[in-house]
Amino acid sequence: MKYDDLPEELTIEADGPVRTVLINRPAELNAVNRPLHWALANVWQRLSQDREAKVVVVTGAGRAFSAGGDLGWITSFLDDPVARDESLREGAQIIEEMLRFPLPVIAAVNGPAVGLGCSLAVLCDVVLMSETAHLADPHVSVGLVAGDGGAAFWPLLTPILRSREYLYTGARIPAATAVELGLASRTVPPEELLDQAYALARRFAAQPAEALQSTKRVTNMYLSQALSGAMQAGFAAEAVTMRSAEHRERLLALAKRAQR
């Protein structure tokens, strides 16, 4: 199976039955720009057609898993409603494709996983976090509804009274706290993260494929059914806040600070 149509921002590495999806913008802390967003929406169908693949590991190049949306790309939405709406459509596609993807997916969260990066990690079947990594969903802080993950997905996984504070403030969730809340599976020493992720991937690959994949499908039915209404409402509400004056003001102020 070839992945030649994917942009360089997302690479696929093969090692026997294991495929590694590498988010590959290390100089930008793997912030998601337009090509990467498209790739994250479309890579899952390509992986599902790879007959030799049995397990997928997702990780980030460099010192971050993903810092969320690229500021330059997101700021362009303020005056480009077509690009804004396309990003929302692709955002929904990312969630839907990950939920119905048949193979087990392991997130090896090697550093900050913020915004969309946080959603990507939490949507995986197993989330291994470096002890020095953290999660965060800062949508509200920039005047947006957390429609593409946090608001819709976290209540299915976490004690709501514990997670609301992080969702409402966008504060960082340290790795150990993420495990305690149910947003991650376990913490791992940074130097052991990939070794442990691949060891688990090989264990999954050795399991009877039909039984494993069907178990995942049945488990994800609950998530898909619970998410259907919340996700639609979340994206609709996020679209409204994307057009708000407060979002414009906060985003432009953030972009200005980032340029200093």
Cα–Cα distance for residue pair 204/186, rounded to 1 Å: 17
State the alpha helices, DSSP H only, in 187-244: 193-206, 209-242
Residue 215 lies in a domain: no
Residue 257 lies in a domain: no
Residue 111 lies in a domain: yes
In order of 73, 87, 88, 166, 214, the CA distances from 34 in angstroms are 7, 8, 12, 27, 33
Residue 28 lies in a domain: yes
pLDDT bucket at 81, cuts 50 / 70 / 90: very high
**Res 227 pLDDT > 90:** no
Radius of gyration for the chain, computed over Cα atoms and rounded to the nearest angstrom: 17
Structure token pair of residue 235: 């994206």
Residue 241 lies in a domain: no
Closest CA relative to residue 201, chosen from 65, 40, 21, 48: 21
pLDDT tens for each residue of 83-99: 999 999 999 999 999 99
Per-residue pLDDT at 47: 98
Q: Report helix angle 81-100 to 34-48, nearest 10.
A: 30
Residue 248 lies in a domain: no
Residue 152 lies in a domain: yes
What is the number of domains present in the chain? 1
CATH number of the domain within which 138 lies: 3.90.226.10
Per-residue pLDDT at 224: 83
Structural domain of residue 50, as residue ranges? 10-209
Residue 38 lies in a domain: yes
Per-residue pLDDT at 146: 87
In order of 33, 145, 152, 215, 231, the CA distances from 236 in angstroms are 22, 9, 12, 32, 8
pLDDT tens for each residue of 130-183: 999 999 999 999 999 987 778 888 988 999 899 999 999 999 999 999 999 999
